[in-house]
Amino acid sequence: MIDAHLPVLQIVIPLLTSPLCILVRANRRVMALVIATCWLVFAMSCRLLYLVSQQGAITYQLGGWPAPWGIEYRVDGLSALILLIVSGMGAIVITYAPTSVDREIPVEQQTLFYTLYLLSLTGLLGIVITGDLFNLFVFLEISSLSTYALISLGKHRRALVAAFQYLVMGTIGATFILIGIGLTYQITGGLNMADLASLLTQYTGDHATNRTVLVAFAFLSVGISLKMAVFPLHQWLPNAYTFAPSVVTAFLAATATKVSVYVLLRVTYTIFKPHFAFELMPLDVELMGLALIGILWSSTAAIFQQNLKRLLAFSSIAQIGYIVLGLSLASVGGVTASVLHIFNHALIKGGLFMATGCLALRLPSLDLKHLHGIGRRMPWTATAWAIGGLGLIGVPLTSGFVSKWYLIVSLLGTGTETNEWRLDHLAAVLVIGASLLAAIYVWRFVDVAFFREPTAEVEAATEAPLRMLLPTYFVIGLTLVFGVWPTLPTQLAAQAASAVIGSTH
């Protein structure tokens, strides 16, 4: 009986718990309530993933109104995996959070933090689970508005500037998405994604000339790309990640941009179909070009960053490029590589920002010049960061290697015409080259942490508390486990890719 209502419970439980936090008020009780809620949501995500793997896609009709007239929640192989990633990282990060929150957020604002955290989680889960395009926009706004406020809670006054910058850019992206949804509704009269896929067939065939559909697709693509922080629409991300509280950065880096990639997958593969998106509209060439430029530019920019969080922020832009590159191939292998890197990067970057949060707990600055010798004073934290860095590079026996391997194999296995062959194979070479750039910026931390004499500030530092180290090592440990035994994530990614590619027929 409960299984039938799991899709809606994923949304209702955190949504109703968030205002309850304000009523409870006592910070410790609020913290316990939020942690319990997040782990309950994760347990439901695990159950949904199991049910989908056993019986296929699950639908839930709100209010008993059948689609397309009513709002439908739909969970297939792709959405089930993304739900697992978002809820899992949300639960792990909030378990890690209390000590960091006590250090970085004033006591009087901590209840607000936990409330906003649940609202952001609710919005992200809602985006993934809804089968209605306008409902997706509503959840997008819930997530975005709460995220802007979360970023503004950073202890540095530039956090307000970063939040405002993200607000402006996010509002532009949301406006583009809303215009695209409105134009799509104008031409079809529908909002249900499955229904739209059928209604748009007459406009997305070989002779697609309806300008309303073309413009709607363009608005949606640009708006979603801005939310994803695809180069060159990434300007909001470095400051947002750098000046947000460490817990917020870890949560957003592991979830927010990944959910935006999910939305792009739904729009291009489920609603408009690859034939329209990648053949009639050359989105594949555009995405591949922007992805490759973004990978190389962001990896190079990361090398020259002095602040550790900012270095990881530029690295995130590059990793988004890898994900978009796989998506642009419009093949089962490419989508599998893309989804697999979503999963692996959520673990790697989440773990790296959690380790960085441990450093922020003990040190007044995260500038590399202030981290000399930190590997001697905080060996567990520095080692966790170094292992996560190996995953970013894509060193064998880490999960980052597995997803990059799948991506390179997909690039080498595509293209029948000479020009296509050259472009895809050039992309594979650039992916390998970008991994060498990643090795340079990861080495910058390893060098100052383990091969320099400690500064006076570092000498006074002590190791991070076990409450923060255990969740950090759990996530970092998973990157090694799934690097040595990659069967589970690769099977889940292949199942997700099949669900997406299957929806195109």
Total number of domains in the chain: 1
Q: Does any domain span residue 449?
A: yes
Residue 210 has pLDDT above 80, yes or no: no
Question: Which pLDDT belongs to residue 505?
Answer: 46
Separation of alpha carbons 177 and 172, rounded Å? 9
Q: Does any domain span residue 442?
A: yes
Q: Does any domain span residue 96?
A: no
Residues 6+ apart with CB under 8 A from 213: 183, 184, 187, 200, 203, 204
Q: Does any domain span residue 227?
A: no
Separation of alpha carbons 190 and 476, rounded Å? 44
pLDDT in tens, 34-55: 999 999 999 999 999 999 988 8
Question: Which pLDDT belongs to residue 304?
Answer: 92
Q: Does any domain span residue 296?
A: yes
Separation of alpha carbons 338 and 223, rounded Å? 20
Q: Does any domain span residue 371?
A: yes
Separation of alpha carbons 105 and 100, rounded Å? 8
Q: Does any domain span residue 299?
A: yes
Residues 6+ apart with CB under 8 A from 107: 27
Question: Which pLDDT belongs to residue 203?
Answer: 67
How many whole angstroms from its chain centre is CA 57? 23
The helix/strand/coil state of 199 is helix
Q: Does any domain span residue 410?
A: yes
Residue 107 has pLDDT above 90, yes or no: no
Asked if omega into 232 is within 30° of 0 (cis), the reply is: yes
* 207-212 mean pLDDT: 71
Q: Residue 266 has what DSSP assignment?
A: I
Residue 313 has pLDDT above 90, yes or no: yes
What's the pLDDT band for 416 if we cut at 50, 70, 90?
very low
| Domain encompassing residue 295 | 282-505
Residues 6+ apart with CB under 8 A from 105: 113, 153, 155, 245
Question: Which pLDDT belongs to residue 419?
Answer: 46
Candidates 6, 57, 416; CA nearest to 270 is 57
Q: What is the largest CA-CA distance in the chain?
A: 70
pLDDT in tens, 58-77: 888 876 776 677 788 888 88
Virtual CA dihedral for 296, 300, 301, 304, nearest 10 degrees? 170
pLDDT in tens, 74-91: 888 899 999 999 999 999
Separation of alpha carbons 336 and 218, rounded Å? 25
